[in-house]
Amino acid sequence: MKIADLKVGQKADIEEATIAEIGEIRTFVRFGRPIRVATATVKDDTGTINMSLWNEDIDRVKEGDKIKLTNGFCKEFQGEKQVTTGKLGKIEVIGEGEAPSAEAETVEEKPEEEAE
């Protein structure tokens, strides 16, 4: 399913989308347990949508990653469509984004390798 095809109140299965941005992580306590949530902007070739990332999902993805959402849910929050994993959904990283620091480390390592 493409982002443009998502409808409020329906199941959301996104075959492939890219994490464009991850917002600030917020923490609150619910039922005596700390809960973390962040809002990510997700995009594909048909559009963009906000996605709620909960707890360990925040640590599982990073900006630039390509993801697949299975058994998610599309809802409306503050007047905009948004997707979430809900209780049964799953986010899977299907392609990792390029980390800028990894490229910088590679450049720094080359002179050391040539010196050996």
What is the domain extent for residue 69?
3-115
pTM (2 d.p.): 0.79
Instruction: Tell me how far apart the alpha carbons of residues 20 and 42 are, in angstroms, rounded to a whole number.
Output: 6
Number of domains in the chain: 1
Which residues lie closer than 8 Å to 44 by C-beta, 6 or more apart? 2, 3, 14, 16, 17, 18
CATH number at 16 reads 2.40.50.140
pLDDT at 108: 42
pLDDT at 31: 92
Mind listing the pLDDT tens digit for each residue in 59-79?
A: 999 999 999 999 999 999 999
Instruction: Tell me how far apart the alpha carbons of residues 57 and 92 are, in angstroms, rounded to a whole number.
Output: 9
Q: How confident is the model over 98-107, as a mean pLDDT? A: 45
pLDDT at 97: 79
Nearest-5° Cα angle at 94, 89 to 98: 125
**Percent of the chain topping pLDDT 70:** 84
Give the sign of the dihedral formed by CA 41, CA 16, CA 12, CA 7: positive
